[in-house]
């Protein structure tokens, strides 16, 4: 268990006047810290004192006996958890960070020593796992074998740990100088930077999404991978609440609490869209158009989605007594306040009391224990027990859980995703968009239905070669030996023989158990031997059967889906979460074989390998560029003022430094810098390559889309309607798998695929130009420094030597940022050129699909089309509400003459009216009550008469004209171009803003280094000095002596603390030697050569 010795007995390296001895305190009660007390109090110099806030309100039930309070120098703190101060890349303890500690340690001369005094008091945090005798014999997840990758090379790990340790030692040492505590001082900024570097964790991550139907064991897989048996829990009973995306991310060790949570709420626009979609989905099986659905399976799916939508709505408004199914179905369409607006008001009133308040979009909290973490999350992921309290989970977009897990330390983000096919459209689209942003997707199913699982087939279809796909088959432990004997004759004899031996040993165990209970001598030993033999036989039989079935299932899945996944590389993992939990804490030698059979160890090893490349590059840049650049800056501070300069040369060099500062800012940060010009160039090149061709060929591609839609009109009306209900993506026996959205933009896709490749090449060319410009700026800054090297040899030589590391650091930032740009461009290409649920073309076509789905073949009363207009309505793109209203209001006006409730802003509550009407006719409600016209105000948007086909037309004609009219009159391709351009500009702006922020930090460091070359002028103490007689210019001139005012060069921060800066220079020399060795290790590992071992060198340095 990692521990942190907070105090040592080392002498103070900086002698100071003795502190007056305080008056002795009276004896007090020393109280034990509980999780109700803040762990921050452990960092207080007056920890647990009688006046401390922690001990102000004691818990009497856990008070210890009265004793003298220990001195704060004699307290040892056990870290919050086993992994609290343990990193994948550093196993060293995290030092106690306080100014007093730094004054008590000699970190300038070496690493701080551990305190082993028997008089040290030990406080254990509530979340700490106390190490007990025998724990070292149990299975340890941290010690599992890692993939054979560069990042896990032992030499590289040692080099990275050594670099972090150097940064921590230096960070602790800088506390000893008073200047480091002065805000605005150079040493304060360097101390903060050292603190960031010693807490370094590779920031390049990879996201893995796990998706599967409820009941497949997806939550158990996550718990097993994270080695947290009770963290993720399944809401299989409350099935609707499983629609929340949950991320599991790594929490760095420098945080006190081992768990942290973030909850992202939906925005107002997302809530409005959710309400509209829930109402539409709920009413789908009550409208007359439902009678057109002839396929039994499709009717069952529509009813199932309707039931789930109702459960969600009920969870959202369960506190409203008038909220019933009848009130939703009977709400009139001609009232002043539409139904959706009423529901939005109810939601706003409830969300005003949510955690964080109505204005908060992200709620966060921390926890010490996993139970505390899950208790807090249950409020956002489960329905309340009180049936009159609305649930928060329908309004939650994403939940993030940060924890210290060995799997997450390698840069992996594990995501629990709901299956899109069981969600409403808005949730399904958001989930599919998230999955397409994942770097790999794991489809979770069970062993017994792996070959026929519709969820797996749906995930494969949605992924469509976009991302690498893997399959996890759970419950591999569920085997019936007798069933195997009957169905697999080739191994029946072997299985039966094995089973009979096990049954014999089981009886033998029972006999020895009975003898032991009756006190027979030697019965205990015989029982233990029999049980061990029984367990070994059971494990051998299970291993034989499980491995055989795993191979068969994996082979079958690969044969079925290998051609439908990226690169035809399908990996199948068969796992057992039950057996993993059963044997997780077995003795090490016994557990290894059993845990390997569960498949979790192999799956976790594969997950470790996903982010290794990006992690290695980030960690290498840390060793090769970031740390050396910082050490150079720190040395620049330490050597400041060591050069002897007269006032004239100091003034000249100071002016040169100011000129170089202007060059750095102008050419690296300001709008005239090449990085800013590169962003503008990429925007222009993207417009020329993608958006401009769309606008130029919009008429041509629209005509091609209309021709494709005419082909669909040849289909029977029932098939055509089935595609509309499934948003254009459906599979029928007569048509096969078809995607209308992809067919609409097929001409555009054929023309733009090559253009997108050209733009990707342009991104690479712009990156090269930008990297060259950074090198040119650094050379431009170094050239004049080399010319004046003789004037200030120490300071200028250091800054020249450090320029290469600074340049490489900036170039690494740019390279990483452009990698993100290329990845974002690929994602944008997928959404723009394909027709999946989260694509841009689908977003434009959904309103027409929804409107067509409302058209019924049972409506026969001819009524002329009605055009709804509003002079105050603003112009906007057609929405679901406007298109549905324009296309369906004319078909349903004939029913409005029937008895309807009077206009009212509240929901009607007459359930009996609905029941009577439901018995009188087949459709439960009229279409006029379920169209989008009842969701929004009739004057919310203008609709032209041309978009409303006459109701007197035949049903199939009206149905097919809906889609064709939408493609003809909605300006699909100009809108598509605008959506693509906005998305591209948004992610490009985010990528460049991140790059510029990081580059600005490096430029600030460079400017600080330039400012340290010459100490500042001492403007407060100008002196008047008479010239020396030996210079030939002294004497009386006009009866007066010649005097000259000379500006005195002030002292630098390092000169003010001469002793500290001298010791710091010595310490930096040691650190630089260590970093040279670390660089050699990185270079050897990168080339695949044998790397030198750093252990001996580190030990010599720490002696």
Distance of CA 995 to the CA centre of its chain: 19
Please give the pLDDT value at position 367: 92
Q: Is residue 583 domain-shared with residue 674, that is, in the same domain? A: no
- Of 990, 1011, 1032, at which residue does a domain stop? 1011
Q: Is residue 759 domain-shared with residue 675, that is, in the same domain? A: yes
Distance of CA 332 to the CA centre of its chain: 44
Q: Which residues of 399-431 are buried (b: 16+ CB within 10 A; e: fewer)?
A: bbbbbbbbbbbbbbbbbbbbbbbbbbbbbbbbb
Please give the pLDDT value at position 1016: 72
Q: Is residue 587 domain-shared with residue 657, that is, in the same domain? A: no
Continuous H helices in 687-739: 692-696, 698-712, 717-725
Element (H or E) spanning 864, and its range?
A: none
What SS3 class is residue 902? Answer: coil
CB neighbour class for 237 (10 Å; exposed up to 12, middle 13-18, buried from 19): exposed
- For residue 403, the 8-state DSSP code is E
Q: Is residue 655 domain-shared with residue 691, that is, in the same domain? A: yes
Q: Is residue 587 domain-shared with residue 488, that is, in the same domain? A: yes
Residue 289 falls within a domain, yes or no? no
CA distance 31 to 64: 6
Residue 1075 falls within a domain, yes or no? no
Cβ neighbours of residue 841 closer than 8 Å, sequence gap 6 or more: 741, 744, 745, 835, 972, 976
Residue 313 falls within a domain, yes or no? no
Residue entry with tokens 């310490």: 1067
Residue 538 falls within a domain, yes or no? yes
Please give the pLDDT value at position 871: 36
Residue 766 falls within a domain, yes or no? yes
Q: Is residue 631 domain-shared with residue 670, that is, in the same domain? A: yes
- Number of structural domains found in the chain: 2
The candidate with the shortest Cα–Cα distance to 801, out of 780, 785, 790, is 785
CA distance 499 to 520: 29
Q: Is residue 700 domain-shared with residue 585, that is, in the same domain? A: no
Q: Is residue 594 domain-shared with residue 632, that is, in the same domain? A: no
Q: Is residue 635 domain-shared with residue 579, that is, in the same domain? A: no
504: tokens are 């014999």
CB neighbour class for 676 (10 Å; exposed up to 12, middle 13-18, buried from 19): middle
Q: Is residue 534 domain-shared with residue 508, that is, in the same domain? A: yes
Residue 633 falls within a domain, yes or no? yes
Residue 921 falls within a domain, yes or no? no
Residue 88 falls within a domain, yes or no? no
Cβ neighbours of residue 843 closer than 8 Å, sequence gap 6 or more: 979
The residues with which 414 forms a beta bridge, in sequence order, are 208, 248
Tell me how many helices (H) and strands (E) the chain has.
36, 18
Please give the pLDDT value at position 91: 36
Q: Is residue 661 domain-shared with residue 558, that is, in the same domain? A: no
Domain that holds residue 552: 481-609
Q: Is residue 592 domain-shared with residue 522, that is, in the same domain? A: yes
Cα separation values, 612 from 289, 409, 436, Å: 53, 11, 21
What is the block-wise mean pLDDT of the chain (1103 residues), using blocks of 10 residues?
Answer: 36 40 39 34 34 37 39 39 35 36 41 43 51 83 88 91 92 88 90 91 88 88 92 65 85 87 93 91 86 83 89 90 87 83 92 88 91 90 86 92 91 90 81 89 91 88 85 91 89 90 90 88 89 90 92 91 82 93 90 92 93 91 94 92 82 89 92 92 93 92 91 87 88 84 92 91 94 93 89 89 93 94 92 90 91 74 38 38 38 35 42 39 41 40 40 72 89 92 93 94 93 70 46 45 49 84 90 92 88 56 35
The crossing angle, in degrees rounded to 10, of helices 1095-1102 and 154-174 is 20
């Amino acid at each position: 268990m990692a521990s942190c010795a907070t105090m040592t007995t080392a002498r103070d390296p900086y002698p100071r006047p003795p502190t007056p001895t305080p008056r002795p305190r009276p004896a007090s009660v020393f109280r034990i810290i509980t999780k109700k007390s803040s762990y921050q109090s452990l960092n207080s110099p007056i920890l647990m004192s009688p006046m401390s806030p922690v001990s102000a309100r004691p818990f009497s039930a856990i008070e210890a006996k009265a004793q003298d309070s220990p001195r704060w120098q004699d307290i040892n703190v056990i870290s919050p958890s086993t992994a609290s101060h343990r990193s994948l890349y550093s196993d060293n303890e995290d030092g106690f960070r306080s100014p007093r500690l730094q004054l008590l340690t000699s970190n300038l001369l070496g690493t701080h020593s551990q305190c082993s005094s028997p008089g040290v008091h030990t406080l254990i945090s509530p979340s700490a796992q106390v190490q007990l005798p025998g724990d070292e014999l149990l299975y340890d997840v941290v010690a599992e074998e890692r993939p054979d990758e560069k990042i896990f090379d032992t030499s590289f790990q040692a080099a990275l740990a050594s670099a972090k340790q150097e940064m921590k030692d230096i960070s602790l040492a800088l506390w000893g100088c008073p200047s480091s505590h002065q805000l605005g001082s150079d040493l304060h900024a360097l101390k903060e930077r050292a603190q960031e570097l010693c807490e370094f964790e590779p920031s390049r991550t990879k996201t893995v999404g796990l998706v599967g139907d409820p009941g497949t064991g997806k939550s158990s897989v996550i718990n097993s991978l994270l080695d947290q048996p009770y963290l993720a829990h399944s809401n299989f009973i409350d099935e609707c609440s499983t629609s929340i995306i949950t991320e599991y991310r790594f929490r760095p060790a420098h945080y006190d609490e081992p768990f942290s949570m973030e909850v992202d709420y939906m925005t107002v626009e997302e809530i409005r869209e959710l309400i509209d979609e829930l109402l539409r989905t709920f009413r789908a099986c009550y409208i007359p158009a439902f009678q057109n659905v002839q396929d039994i399976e499709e009717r069952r799916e529509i009813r199932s989605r309707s039931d789930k939508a109702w459960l969600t709505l009920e969870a959202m408004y369960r506190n409203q007594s008038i909220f019933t199914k009848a009130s939703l179905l009977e709400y009139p369409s001609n009232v002043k306040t539409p139904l959706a607006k009423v529901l939005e008001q109810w939601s706003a009133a409830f969300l005003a009391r949510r955690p964080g308040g109505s204005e908060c979009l992200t709620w966060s909290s921390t926890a010490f224990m996993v139970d505390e973490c899950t208790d807090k999350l249950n409020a956002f992921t489960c329905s309340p027990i009180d049936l009159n309290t609305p649930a928060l989970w329908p309004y939650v977009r994403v939940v993030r859980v940060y924890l210290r897990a060995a799997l997450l330390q390698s840069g992996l983000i594990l995501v629990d995703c709901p299956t899109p096919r069981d969600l409403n459209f808005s949730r399904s689209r958001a989930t599919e968009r998230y999955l397409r942003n994942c770097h790999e997707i794991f489809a979770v199913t069970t062993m017994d239905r792996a070959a026929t699982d519709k969820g797996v087939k749906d995930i494969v279809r949605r992924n469509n070669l976009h991302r690498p796909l893997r399959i996890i088959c759970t419950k591999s432990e569920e085997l019936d030996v007798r069933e195997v004997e009957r169905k697999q004759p080739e191994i029946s004899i072997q299985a039966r023989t094995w089973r009979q031996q096990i049954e014999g040993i089981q009886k033998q165990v029972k006999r020895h158990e009975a003898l032991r209970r009756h006190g027979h001598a030697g019965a205990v030993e015989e029982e233990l031997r029999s049980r061990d033999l029984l367990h070994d036989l059971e494990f051998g039989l299970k291993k034989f059967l499980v491995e055989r079935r795993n191979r068969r299932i994996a082979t079958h899945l690969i044969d079925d889906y290998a051609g439908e996944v990226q690169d035809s590389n399908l990996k199948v993992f068969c796992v057992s979460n039950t057996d993993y939990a059963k044997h997780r804490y077995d003795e090490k030698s016994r557990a290894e074989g059993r845990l390997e059979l569960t498949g979790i160890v192999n799956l976790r090893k594969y997950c470790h390998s996903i982010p290794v490349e990006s992690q290695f590059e980030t960690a290498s840049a840390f060793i090769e560029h970031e740390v050396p650049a910082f050490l150079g800056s720190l040395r620049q501070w330490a050597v400041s003022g060591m050069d002897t300069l007269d006032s004239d040369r100091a003034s000249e060099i100071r002016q040169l430094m100011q000129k170089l500062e202007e060059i750095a800012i102008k050419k690296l940060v300001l709008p005239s810098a090449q990085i800013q010009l590169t962003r503008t160039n990429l925007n222009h090149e993207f417009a020329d390559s993608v958006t401009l061709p769309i606008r130029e060929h919009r008429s041509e591609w629209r005509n091609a889309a209309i021709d494709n839609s005419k082909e669909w009109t040849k289909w029977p009306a029932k098939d055509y309607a089935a595609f509309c209900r499934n948003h254009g993506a459906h599979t029928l026996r007569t048509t096969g798998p078809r995607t209308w959205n992809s067919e609409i933009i097929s001409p555009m896709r054929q023309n733009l695929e090559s253009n997108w490749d050209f733009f990707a090449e342009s991104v690479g060319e712009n990156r090269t130009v930008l990297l060259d410009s950074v090198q040119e700026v650094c050379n431009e800054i170094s050239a004049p420094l080399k010319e004046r090297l003789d004037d200030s040899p120490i300071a200028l030589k250091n800054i020249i030597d450090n320029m290469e590391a600074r340049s490489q650091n900036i170039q690494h930032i740019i390279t990483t940022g452009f990698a993100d740009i290329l990845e974002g461009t690929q994602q944008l290409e997928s959404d723009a050129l394909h027709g999946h649920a989260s694509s841009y073309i689908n977003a434009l076509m959904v309103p027409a699909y929804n409107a067509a789905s409302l058209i019924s073949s049972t409506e026969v009363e001819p009524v002329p089309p009605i055009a709804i207009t509003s002079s105050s309505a603003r112009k906007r793109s057609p929405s679901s509400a406007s298109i549905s209203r324009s296309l369906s209001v004319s078909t349903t006006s004939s029913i409005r003459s029937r008895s309807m409730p009077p206009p009212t802003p509240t929901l009607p509550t007459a359930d009996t009216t609905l029941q009577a009407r439901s018995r009188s006719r087949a459709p439960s409600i009229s279409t006029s009550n379920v169209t989008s016209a009842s969701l929004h105000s009739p004057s919310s948007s203008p609709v032209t008469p041309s978009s409303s086909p006459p109701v007197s037309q035949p049903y199939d004609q009206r149905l097919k004209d809906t889609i064709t009219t939408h493609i003809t009159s909605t300006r699909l391709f100009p809108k598509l171009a605008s959506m693509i351009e906005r998305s591209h500009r948004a992610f490009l702006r985010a990528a460049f803003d991140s790059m510029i922020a990081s580059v600005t930090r490096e430029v600030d460091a460079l400017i600080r280094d330039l400012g340290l070359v010459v100490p500042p002028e001492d403007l407060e103490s100008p002196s008047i000095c008479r010239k020396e007689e030996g210079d030939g210019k002294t004497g009386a001139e006009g009866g007066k002596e010649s005097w000259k005012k000379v500006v005195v060069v002030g002292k630098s921060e390092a000169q003010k603390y001469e002793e500290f800066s001298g010791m710091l220079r010595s310490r930096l020399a040691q650190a630089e030697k260590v970093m040279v060795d670390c660089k050699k290790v990185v270079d050897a590992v990168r080339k695949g050569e044998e790397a030198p071992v750093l252990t001996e060198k580190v030990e010599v340095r720490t002696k």
